[in-house]
Chains A and B, each alone.
Chain A
Amino acid sequence: MNEGPKTIASVVSTHREMQEGPKTMASVVSTRREMSNMQQIAYTLRVIWACMKKDIRSALSERTFTIISIVIPVNILILLSLFVVGGGYAPTAVVMQDTGPYAQQFYQAMDGAHSFRLQKASAAEANDLLQAGQIVAVVTIPANFDTSIQQNQPVQVRVEINNLNTDYTNDIRRAVPLSITSFYGKAFPNVVTVVPKEHDSYQQDTDYIPYLTVSILVVGLMLGGTLLSAIGAAREWESETMKELLLSPASRWSIIVGKMLGALVVGLASVVIVLAVLIFVIGVWPIHWGEVIGFSLLTMTIFIAWGTLLGTWIKQRTPVVALAIGSTLPLFFLSGAFGPISFGTPLTQVLAQLFPMYYAIVVQQHAFHDFTLNTYGLPVNVLILCGYALVLIVVAAIVLRRSTVAH
């Protein structure tokens, strides 16, 4: 904290030196101007350096907060991943009233539908599980299943569905017919002649966890970056140390850049930890390593700029924290975390493209999986992100200037 007064004193002396420029002789004016420009740059760099160093020292003095803020992205990664650890398979009880070969084949067809987590149960057990909300559905294979199939007679498979959550309910409603056609496809290949013939765009499917964790990485960087910088900025106002900064002749934007760099340096630890967990623990191996590192830093920069703006604007830590946390989940769901937003509704597409998180997810999915999630192309997505970073820095500097006027 001793750094503050020293910095301001040195900053003021440098400023005086700069103001001496017009008093010099005309013959050396141009040389002086060049010197003045050089001094201006050096002075600005010194301000940035001083602000950055001061914020890093402040962060280090608040060890508990800093350590926990650094691990927030990795916490988000772990906790949101729990959401998909079940793999989206619907827990389903099968009541086998017939245990003949066709009934067994039907059970196998259900098992291979990549939709159910099956368990065999008696009718009473299955009903209890359904009523207690432990399973999504009960599929009952009737006692006359084999006989009916052998005699080519109609037979109904009863499906009781706990239609509590349409995500699972729809899976069941579609996966049972899938099992029926799969069953016929294997048991009577010549009977069911209409079959789907699939061609995939990518050589192999990407599972829920590898896909979603990349999107979660972005949301983690967002929360970590926003919190680190927003609290750093708001603290200056709450502890009234902002007055000292504003009284110095330092330019507003150099203060903002310095504060952002301070948060970025601390946030780098966060980036390293979250990437290490994603790559080495969860096992999502990136295809483009350079892009992963570059885009992670760019994403962190954007959200640090956003946090700085938020902290400068609101000036209080409590609402800043509430807003940072509260906006995380809505933006996560809005920004195409689960798939390309073009598969969603037109309104959500428009809304998603207003926020940088969407573009950050697009570029990170490309970096990790080589996926193309929109038609803008990678350079345009990166340019948009750079634009967000620039605009946020400029707006933060403007807000800081306006705050000065207000005070």
Chain B
Amino acid sequence: MSIFMNFLRTVWVVLRKDLQVWVRQPATMAATFLPPLGFLLVQALTAVAVGRSPVALVTLDHGPKGVQMQQIFHQADVFRITDTSPEQALKLFNGIQVVAIITIPADFTQRVEAHETSPVDVRVNNLNLDFTNDIRRSVPDAITQFYQAQGESSAIKVTMQAHNLRAQDVQLFQYSVLPTLILLLMISSLVNGGLATAREWETRTVKELLMAPVGRGAIITGKVLAGFATSMLLGVVVFLLCYLLGWVQPVGIYWLTTLLTMALVALLGSGLGVAIGAALQRIQPVIAIGINVSLYLFFLAGGVGVLAFEPQWLQNIAAFIPLTYGRHALEMAVFYSSSDLFGRDMLILVACALAALLLGTLSMRRGIAH
């Protein structure tokens, strides 16, 4: 019993010491905390424009069909439209203020009523397929709506009956919250855990630790828990902030699964960090390797994209990356309110976290032997 109490006491002392070092470095805290928030803010700001390209609309026909077409372009909610003259439109186009100029020709009504081919002129700045394809999809979309507006007399009889899986669309920046959180947890826990460990060697305080009559396992556990605690704190604060802003809305039991997943990711990162720190024993290599490991783990698990929509070879690689399962569990809990494959995800994360702890212990023991 007293051995166990000693173990806990040592863990607590090491944990408290590392936390105090962390708290006394406000610059480190700010530098870890602010960029992810900045990223989310940038995502929120840019999301307004995603998929809604700016276009100049020139309506040369003021007949009924021309005006109807103009209204449909406005109602389509796929463009940010500026109604303008041909000269002004050209000025906007040359000034790279609009992606395209859409011109409804002067004889549009006449041609439509005569059932003649009625081209809607689209001049596109096709420097980037992302924007170009948006225009190429959106103009036919508006044309389809134009025909639909004609009711039973419409020439187009095929219509789209859309059903959404969820009541509200999840915006791109809302979707990005979880990958960002994973990246924050991984980088923070891995780099902080690694630095806290390597620092003991650089400042030679590791000697004091070694001379103390305490178990090595307790020292390692304390260091891993310190890295875990700081990263988890940051993760929870960012997540709560996103919740308060309405960007993520887990419900009921899924709060618990979300927090559990975050904790396991932080534990995994911290264990890996301590392992790397103890193996390298110097701050600079730890920084360099820590960053690269975090980035590879993050991007190979899908990064800021949607893994399921990526090519199969990439999905096959991702199957061997533990963060893939952390991300899956988080997405299921937050976006689907589902525990689909939760057992598998947790099992893999727990196994990887334990493996990282074991690796950390081995590295530290080898380091201590030196």
Contact = CB atoms under 8 A, between A and B. Distances in A.
B126 A345 contact: no
Contacts of B112: 193-194
Contact of A326 (B35, B116, B152): B35
Given A65-B284, A193-B118, A317-B287, A198 B136 contact: yes
Interface stretch (B2-10, B246-254, B267-275, B306-314): B306-314
Nearest to B124: A200
Contacts of B48: 345
Interface string A295-337: 0000000000000000000101111111101110110011000
Given A65-B284, A68-B289, A351-B45, A211 B157 contact: no
Interface residues of A, number: 119
A344 interface: yes
B227 interface: no
Interface string B130-144: 111110111111011
Nearest to A181: B140
Interface size class of B (residues with CB under 8 A): 35 or more
B263 interface: no
A240 interface: no
A297 B149 CA distance: 56
B165 A162 contact: yes
Interface stretch (A3-11, A28-36, A81-89): A81-89
B36 interface: yes
A131 to B, nearest CB: 8
Contacts of A348: 42, 45-46, 49
Given A163-B164, A170-B51, A329-B39, A181 B156 contact: yes
B12 to A, nearest CB: 24
A345 B145 CA distance: 27
Nearest to A140: B161
A76 to B, nearest CB: 7
A161 B165 contact: yes
B98 to A, nearest CB: 8
B31 interface: yes
Interface string A128-165: 00111111100000000000110011111111111111
A206 interface: yes
Contact of B164 (A155, A161, A171, A317): A161
Contact of B161 (A157, A167, A191, A373): A157
A168 interface: yes
A136 B187 contact: no
A297 to B, nearest CB: 23
B301 to A, nearest CB: 10
Nearest to A132: B340
A117 B244 CA distance: 36
B283 A317 contact: yes
B314 A82 contact: yes
Interface of B: 25, 27-28, 30-32, 34-36, 38-39, 41-43, 45-51, 53-54, 69, 78, 95-99, 111-112, 115-134, 136-141, 143-147, 152, 155-166, 168-172, 175, 180, 183, 187, 191-192, 195, 280, 282-285, 287-289, 291-292, 295-296, 299-300, 303-306, 308-311, 314, 331, 335-336, 340
9 contacts: A88-B130, A156-B158, A170-B50, A200-B132, A206-B127, A316-B28, A318-B283, A321-B191, A330-B38
